[in-house]
Amino acid sequence: MSTDAPNPRHSTFREMKTAEDWWAIWCGGLLLLLSFGAVWISRPADLADQVQRAADAKSEIAEAKAAGDDGLAKQIAADTKVTVSHPWKAWFAKPGSWESNPVDSVYRPPVQEAEEREAQKAVNAIGGLVGVFIVLGVLFAVAQSFRGHSAGGFLKAFPVVFLLAMLAYVLAGQVVVKSYNLEYALWALLVGLIISNTVGTPKFLGPAVLTEFYIKTGLVLLGAEVLMSRLLVLGLPGICVAWVVTPIVLISTFIFGQKVLKIQSPSLNMVISADMSVCGVSAAIATAAACKAKKEELSLAIGLSLSFTVIMMVVLPAIIKAVGMDEVLGGAWLGGTIDATGAVAAAGAVLGDRALEVAATVKMIQNILIGITAFGVAIYWVTCVEKNDSGIRPDAMEIWYRFPKFVLGFVAASVIFSLLYSNLVGGPAVIDAMIGGSTKTLRGWLFCLAFVSIGLQTNFRELAPHLKGGKPLILYVCGQTLNLVLTLAMAWLMFRVVFRDQIDQYLP
């Protein structure tokens, strides 16, 4: 055997052909490229004229608002709205809502009676479900084949995993369940957990239980939704809330877990800290890759996150209303503390449109920290946590090897589509059509498949040692309490004191 040191360039090149992180970038990038190309090629011929009319109408809308005629302002805005559609939108769908018959979530024929027609829209998501199944099935089968795995084994197992994900969507769509904001992620996790902890996960499903591959690809797609131009709408106050409080909470929680609670696994401690302080599951996945956390540790962190997300998205809006907190401050508080982006939007909508906009913007600004956090954790883990007995610290190449490469795809997608959004003629409408017509739906499916996979891979008997003494729960509760207090203080200072006039002018 040769004792020569491996050539870093050759190692990186080999990784780019076979490693899961790189293939998440290739798969996510391909989906974004094809989707954007479809929208751009099919854009309306008069797109430039539409954009000009919309720009010219801004003064009319402002005059109508100044005159107190909001109805006229809305009508002008609707008449001059730039319209771009996705030609493939019908082929990407997920189950909808239903009340008493689950089939209604997939297919609901049109009704003839006028009264019922208004209350019940026709639904036919079958074509869209088939489209998602084919696209994701073929994409990941090809990727697995190139990575040296069995494409046939994947194709045999994928239909079952896909059906379980579809079941999770159907359960989340029931109107009563939906009213409590019990999102698909919770149901997907529960479906997988029930199987793995009762009959056990069948071995033949293994080739399609690709937890990290699914969610890493989904995070690359998410990058196209985290647009820099949108993040700057609320400017410095949102950045201060998201980028000042988050690192303080992350570091403080990690130190608290190690020094006070004395949690034996530093990786478990770090994943829970990142999950709770940054943005939930996405940050947990990226951080787990950076510190090589065990799958059971990641499952535990995600379970805590999902549980508290459900509680917080219901309780926090109620508290905000009860104490008479204004929408802007309440929205900033929600955006900086609730883990999941979807849950933030749902909670913000309960308070009102202004709260929703502020909450979503703060959360999107916070989402940028996914990559920064992963990079920081990778450096810390290599240079401090895992330094060898001789005290010699690993070199920079070890940090590069440890760094979760899919984060590069997330950042690249964010930068590229931010530039397209800002510089293309009709860029906002084109990018919105791309996201709304395909990539957002596909991202949701990828996350749902990942949550099902997490459940299928998680056994409570394996989690028991990590729950000993309740330390992970204490860590999460204490960290989230600190997060709530600091975020509220910073949100009040930025949104209601320092930048109050600018915010009130932007959000009258």
266 closest CA partner among 440, 363, 162, 386: 386
Q: Which residue range forms the structural domain that includes residue 346?
A: 18-62+88-506
Q: Looking at the 3D structure of the chain, how many domains does it have?
A: 1
Give the predicted TM-score (pTM) of the model.
0.73
**What per-residue confidence (pLDDT) applies to 402?**
61
Is 344 within the bounds of a domain? yes
**What per-residue confidence (pLDDT) applies to 119?**
47
66 C-beta neighbours (distance < 10 Å), count: 9
C-alpha distances in Å from residue 375, one per residue of 6, 75, 154, 280, 402: 23, 47, 31, 17, 9
C-alpha torsion angle, residues 268, 270, 274, 276 (rounded to 10): 50
Beta strands at 123-124 and 107-108: parallel, antiparallel or unpaired: antiparallel
321 C-beta neighbours (distance < 10 Å), count: 12
For the chain, count helices (H), then strands (E).
Answer: 26, 2
Q: Torsions phi, psi of 342, nearest 5?
A: -65, -40
Is 207 within the bounds of a domain? yes
C-alpha torsion angle, residues 120, 121, 122, 125 (rounded to 10): -110
User: Which uninterrupted H or E stretch holds 107?
Assistant: strand 107-108
pLDDT in tens, the chain (508 residues): 333 344 444 466 677 788 888 999 999 999 999 999 999 999 999 999 988 898 888 888 888 878 887 788 888 888 888 889 999 999 999 998 888 888 888 887 776 554 444 445 566 788 999 999 999 999 999 999 999 899 999 999 999 999 999 999 999 888 888 777 677 877 888 898 899 888 888 999 999 999 879 978 987 898 888 776 655 555 678 788 888 898 999 999 999 999 999 888 888 899 999 888 887 777 887 788 788 888 778 878 887 887 787 678 778 888 998 898 988 899 889 988 987 766 676 677 678 767 877 887 788 778 777 778 888 888 888 888 776 444 555 555 655 666 667 778 888 998 899 899 989 988 889 999 999 999 999 998 998 898 888 788 777 776 666 566 788 889 999 999 999 999 999 999 988 888 787 776 655 5
**What per-residue confidence (pLDDT) applies to 438?**
93
**What per-residue confidence (pLDDT) applies to 445?**
94
Alpha-helical segments (H) within 174-234: 175-179, 184-196, 211-223, 228-231
**What per-residue confidence (pLDDT) applies to 435?**
93
Q: HSE, CB side, 13 Å, CA atoms: give it for residue 119.
A: 6
**What per-residue confidence (pLDDT) applies to 367?**
75
Is 70 within the bounds of a domain? no
Q: Is 63 helix (H, G, I), strand (E, B) or coil?
A: helix
**What per-residue confidence (pLDDT) applies to 401?**
65
Is 80 within the bounds of a domain? no
Is 77 within the bounds of a domain? no
Is 342 within the bounds of a domain? yes
Whole-angstrom Cα Rg for the chain: 24
**What per-residue confidence (pLDDT) applies to 115?**
47
Is 146 within the bounds of a domain? yes
Is 76 within the bounds of a domain? no
**What per-residue confidence (pLDDT) applies to 9?**
46
Structure tokens belonging to residue 477:
């509760």
